[in-house]
Structure 1
């Protein structure tokens, strides 16, 4: 039986570096604070926990998250040290007590990891053949890239990290503006952004970005993407544990599934309900945490070599939404994915309501206002899905409240049985744009008998060189999820043109048409799984 996961709002993470209490000495290990001097003279503040026994020990380096310092990971560090690990937890440059400026997982940050490993091997009773590295969010991205460059890292844990920073910033040609704003403001509130990082993030918000600046930002992001170094990762083959949540607003989970599929070494993927870092935050405060229990087991197997049991389990582990479900274990991602089942978008009995059915019904057109929002929304970053992780309830929207002049709505008949969604839902729809640039946002709902919609997923899609009045087919591929729609509920789809999460490309006027040609009927493909996994 798995213990119930405890979640805490991710907003607490940035405070931990300054506020977490640390005992100077604990039974079984000692604690000290040191300055580790980077290659350019920057002092990185580190907390070092070392078992009292003199023999060489396995070691784990913990890299702080965005805004954190050396004590941010104090509770996981204490647990690891009490089990015989040397632990060096440090604040990334520019954050917490560490000197320097925020490099955003750039070359200086990666060089700092090597410096910390050098110091650890020279100044502690570390076995250099048994070293692991872990991080949450910012620390996860730094750790993945560092593992591609330093062969001493034999195991790496990525919790709420990223694989492709370009995709995170510009997925489907749409900027994730609200999340970037939170990173920018919190970066200055809890650290010192480098001039380069400051310029990149400020330029990202430009309402009419210069194409040259856009490419500069893309290249900056590519350098900071583990995807760029996949070949080196596959050569070094550190054991890789990926922990991620279904409803990430910062780094959507599709890229981590891609990393899992691309990676050639020993690996495990855990996907669970929640928001960015919500699964990890309870453990950072010393509360029971299944996520950190898995991290400890992973290091026991792949670093210390004391307990290999986790490696005998199936490597893809899912927990379905909504609510708390028992884990599903699968031998690979393809096994976890459901088989696509096609539903078609059609006209309803009146122009304000469409239907989702089993047979093609092409030939319809619905028009909606551009640049005007509806009651459908993707949630509040770092809040809505943290609440879901705690309560089991996704964000809700009452579908009759969606203004049909601003948004198109389709619903299916009541489902005769539970529909286990496993994988990435996709929508094919033809758009007739009113302007060369524009954005649509699609929302997928679990609709109850009272027309209340629980949000399954959402996705923006933008065009920047469209031909006004000319139909263009779009394939909207949502991030993967695991969601069980109950029997007697309905499947719902809403498409509008605006959401506060995104910087859209709408020009402020006109109506965009959504249509379904005879030759290419608009449809929804739902990956329908069994809703169960194999034994561990």
Structure 2
């Protein structure tokens, strides 16, 4: 497979990433558009997924979300879910300009927060012909209440309001850690496995990751409801991959959301917790996704052997 650096314009913001050419692809080939989840950068195992797809003859377009990693965008470290949804669509548009891409065979893949984005994009953008959503956020409202003690919620709301007023006055946005060793300390993702995965992955392979996001990112998280779009994905084929013991984006929320989707769809439960999908459970998560895209975007007859 071959990988090259790419950049493209997203309504005045330059997004950067990688384009993987599928092994053995002849001419325009199926292409999977990919971005990472809450605060993560592409070096946090997205290269492994892209390589798995490319080995099956699928192109993969991977990019950093605006405000993160190598992509431009201000304010830095701010996660606006709707801006990220629009950027998926910009990435699809960019992909359609590449000679390696078959514009009629484009899939989207997302994980965690971007797993929610993939659901929304598949529902509203009919250029998408197949979608895989891994360990997804499906409801910001319900997920926030699963992560934050009820007696802490009013305190968060007061912080959100104070930050909004400060920003109105021209002050810089308030920041909050993504993770903290103490799950009861203020952080965006207050689970022990979040702290372990982010800090270890940062040290091993993603030095550009920063342990902070704007406080408004957390507020926008609480307002984001991908579950509302699930009935509208059909007839685009949907593969949903929740983890068996997910405490960050709770398994039960994803399974319940799946019932709202219409055919064609498939549910496959991954082993372990939220972050196992990237490391110890990588084959369990990447192979079903690969096979789903091959089934619905192209026919695969072995490594590098695609047939229209």
- Partner Cα separation in structure 2 for residue 128 and residue 191 of structure 1: 37
Cα displacement (A) at 1:47? 0.4
Change (3 A) 1:225 1:238: same
Query: Which structure has the larger Rg over C-alpha atoms?
Result: 1
State the SS of the aligned residue for 2:31: strand
Change (3 A) 1:102 1:240: farther
- Partner Cα separation in structure 2 for residue 43 and residue 256 of structure 1: 33
Residues 187-226 of structure 1 correspond to what in structure 2 (within 5 A)? 190=210, 193-194=213-214, 196-197=216-217, 200=219, 221-222=222-223, 224-226=224-226
State the SS of the aligned residue for 2:187: helix
Which of residues 240, 245, 256 is equivalent to 2:238? Answer: 240
> Is 1:48–2:19 an aligned residue pair?
yes
> Is 1:181–2:181 an aligned residue pair?
no
- Partner Cα separation in structure 2 for residue 123 and residue 279 of structure 1: 30
Cα displacement (A) at 1:283? 6.3
Other-structure match for 1:109: 84
Change (3 A) 1:30 1:283: farther
Other-structure match for 1:97: 70
Cα displacement (A) at 1:190? 1.9
Residues 119-158 of structure 1 correspond to what in structure 2 (within 5 A)? 119-158=94-133
Other-structure match for 2:298: 304
State the SS of the aligned residue for 1:112: helix
Cα displacement (A) at 1:105? 5.3
Cα displacement (A) at 1:191? 6.6
| Corresponding pairs, count | 252
- Partner Cα separation in structure 2 for residue 134 and residue 221 of structure 1: 22
CA contact (8 A) 1:238 1:266 kept: yes
Change (3 A) 1:104 1:266: farther
Cα displacement (A) at 1:147? 1.3
Cα displacement (A) at 1:70? 3.2
State the SS of the aligned residue for 1:154: strand
Change (3 A) 1:263 1:38: same
- Partner Cα separation in structure 2 for residue 79 and residue 59 of structure 1: 13
Change (3 A) 1:89 1:172: closer
CA contact (8 A) 2:35 2:64 kept: yes
Other-structure match for 1:347: none
Residues 204-353 of structure 1 correspond to what in structure 2 (within 5 A)? 221-222=222-223, 224-234=224-234, 237-282=235-280, 289-306=283-300
CA contact (8 A) 1:48 1:88 kept: yes
State the SS of the aligned residue for 1:258: helix
> Is 1:168–2:143 an aligned residue pair?
yes
Other-structure match for 1:398: none
- Partner Cα separation in structure 2 for residue 173 and residue 193 of structure 1: 17
CA contact (8 A) 1:165 1:225 kept: yes
Change (3 A) 1:103 1:37: same
- Partner Cα separation in structure 1 for residue 209 and residue 291 of structure 2: 35
Other-structure match for 1:455: none
Change (3 A) 1:304 1:192: farther
- Partner Cα separation in structure 2 for residue 67 and residue 172 of structure 1: 17
Cα displacement (A) at 1:115? 0.6
CA contact (8 A) 1:105 1:138 kept: no
State the SS of the aligned residue for 1:37: strand
- Partner Cα separation in structure 1 for residue 249 and residue 141 of structure 2: 10
> Is 1:33–2:16 an aligned residue pair?
no
- Partner Cα separation in structure 2 for residue 259 and residue 82 of structure 1: 32
> Is 1:69–2:89 an aligned residue pair?
no
Other-structure match for 1:360: none
- Partner Cα separation in structure 2 for residue 191 and residue 36 of structure 1: 26
CA contact (8 A) 1:76 1:283 kept: no
Change (3 A) 1:116 1:196: same
State the SS of the aligned residue for 1:262: coil
* Structure with greater strand share of residues: 1
Cα displacement (A) at 1:164? 1.2
CA contact (8 A) 2:31 2:101 kept: yes
Cα displacement (A) at 1:182? 5.1
Cα displacement (A) at 1:69? 2.5
State the SS of the aligned residue for 2:289: helix
* Structure with greater helix share of residues: 2
List per-residue Cα deviations over 1:332-371 (Å, max 9, x = no partner): xxxxxxxxxxxxxxxxxxxxxxxxxxxxxxxxxxxxxxxx
- Partner Cα separation in structure 1 for residue 127 and residue 151 of structure 2: 36
- Partner Cα separation in structure 2 for residue 85 and residue 145 of structure 1: 22
